[in-house]
Amino acid sequence: MTDKTSIKDIYKRAAVDYDDNFENLLEPVWSDAIDRMEITAHCSILDIGCGTGKIIQRIMERHGHHDLCIDGIDLSQEMIAAAKIKFGGYNGNRIELYCQDAMQYLKNCEMEKYDVVVVSFLLAYIDSSKLFPLIGKVLKKGGRVVIVTTSTDHTKECEKIFFGFALRNPTYFNWWTIFSKPLSLVAPIKKIRKQIWEAGFQDFEGKLILTKKTFDNFLGFLYWSAQSGYTTMYYDLLIKDKKEEAMAALERYAEKNFIYFGEQVKIGKPFNFTWPVYIISAVKTTGEKTV
Ligand SMILES: C[S@@+](CC[C@H](N)C(=O)[O-])C[C@H]1O[C@@H](n2cnc3c(N)ncnc32)[C@H](O)[C@@H]1O
């Protein structure tokens, strides 16, 4: 897992244009995730790692008439600040946003407080085997967890290009950082499913959405991923004063060695980025576990 100081640093920068970077790409994902929450009147909802509050904003657009209580938690002050400016005019609903570590919040939170808990793009930063039992604690019986996450396969694609390049181009890398700083790892979907079941959930449903975005060229994709928090941890390992040079070298490396979802990278040509995103929902058991 990435350490908390690095996460804060990544999202301090990402907060500036996070919404612009992800708005169109993730729209179908957020919409599907909200469908699965099965929100009804007076629902209490917790968004863990809420970021700039895009999901809460979408929930309010669709269910603002439902007199909801929503709490959002995020480690990054800047992401929470970007969320806060969105929620001036939602009278009748209660929205509270806290800058706090999610695990700390969940440990201190009263039991069975929420009808719905959503966790979107957080599993790269938190050990899901420890997170899910705490979500079980704060959910009411019969309450629903909705998880949005990248697939491990995709993480591996990124790791493949990054480490392949790093091994061939040591001059561009801070090797000490590579060995001392563990990269994020999202558990495979099968493992996530097992962890959810062990934490006392049932009625597991999963869906894969292939989100898509076209960039003018591969370099544009690299800069987007470096800025957006999406693969920042990889690119942060590039030696900072050689970043541009390193990015161009990484593009040349990709053209020679990297086929991404069946597409050959071509320098100067448009690059079609495909990002597989899983949406998983499950219900907290009301009694005995069922298989
Ligand atoms: C990729 S963003 C996702 C934001 C939002 N959920 C979304 O779907 O747009 C990941 C967020 O998780 C937050 N985060 C990472 N580790 C955290 C932790 N331990 N506690 C709370 N938030 C954390 C980051 O600050 C960041 O805002």
Check whether 92 has a pLDDT greater than 80.
Answer: no
- Domain with residues 1-150+186-212+276-291, CATH architecture: 3-Layer(aba) Sandwich (3.40)
What letter would DSSP give residue 287? S
* Per-residue pLDDT tens digits for 205-231: 999 999 988 999 999 988 888 877 667
pLDDT band for position 291 (50/70/90)? very low
Ligand 1 near 18 CB (within 6 A): no
Nearest atom of ligand 1 to the alpha carbon of 230: 1
The predicted pLDDT at position 161 comes to: 82
- Of 85, 184, 82, whose CA–CA distance to 125 is shortest? 184
- Of 278, 281, 279, 284, whose CA–CA distance to 114 is shortest? 284
Beta strands in the chain, from DSSP E residues, in sequence order: 44-48, 69-74, 94-99, 114-120, 139-150, 201-215, 259-260, 263-264, 271-284
Structure tokens at 120: 């979107």
* Per-residue pLDDT tens digits for 229-261: 667 777 878 887 888 899 999 999 999 988 776
Boundaries of every domain in the chain: 1-150+186-212+276-291, 152-184+217-269
Note the pTM of the prediction, 2 decimals.
0.91
CA separation for the pair 71, 203 (Å, rounded):
25
Ligand 1 near 102 CB (within 6 A): yes
Q: Are 268 and 217 in contact (CB under 8 A)?
A: yes
Ligand 1 near 75 CB (within 6 A): yes
